[in-house]
């Protein structure tokens, strides 16, 4: 994910035991799941969207995720989930549709988390030649 993005990336490291913020977690069947640390484990706030078109071309989903980003919600790093919200945000940056940065949140241990600011890529920086196909 670093090709085309300037280094070093801006990071925020939480203090031990610091409660994580609300986060954009994942998408299932036309619903964006928001992780809320105040809810019981496995419980999410749910935000439905119009499922017209594939995820990467869905304008309702794009508008929803951009709105959540502008509200300050970070996106959970989900490397094993194809089409995760953070992957979509990165893709939209890569193709020039999303011109703003977003925060990516990751955990090292259950109570140790950090955020990394993901900025849009710059053509030619670190050898980046432009976007590939989504999930391809």
Q: Residues of the chain whose pLDDT is less than 70?
A: 1-2, 133-136
**What residues contact 120, with CB distance under 8 A and at least 6 apart?**
5, 93, 96, 98, 99, 100, 101
Rounded to the nearest 5°, which phi and psi values hold at 26?
-155, 175
* pTM for this prediction: 0.89
Domain positions in the chain are 11-120
CA separation for the pair 118, 101 (Å, rounded): 5
Q: pLDDT at position 35, please? A: 96
Are 77 and 86 in contact by the 8 Å Cβ rule? The answer is yes
CA separation for the pair 58, 37 (Å, rounded): 28
Structure tokens at 70: 């502008």
Q: pLDDT at position 134, please? A: 64
């Amino acid at each position: 994910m670093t090709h085309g993005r300037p280094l070093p990336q801006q990071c925020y490291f939480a203090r031990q035991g610091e409660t994580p913020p609300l986060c954009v977690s994942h998408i299932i069947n036309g619903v964006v799941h928001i992780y809320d640390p105040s809810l019981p484990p496995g419980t999410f706030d749910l935000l439905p969207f119009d499922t017209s078109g594939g995820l990467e071309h869905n304008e309702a989903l794009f508008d929803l995720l951009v709105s959540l980003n502008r509200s300050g919600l970070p996106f959970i790093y989900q490397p094993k989930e194809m089409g995760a919200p953070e992957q979509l945000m990165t893709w939209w940056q890569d193709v020039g549709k999303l011109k703003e940065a977003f925060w990516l949140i990751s955990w090292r241990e259950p109570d140790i988390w950090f955020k990394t600011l993901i900025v849009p890529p710059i053509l030619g920086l670190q050898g980046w030649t432009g976007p590939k196909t989504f999930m391809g």
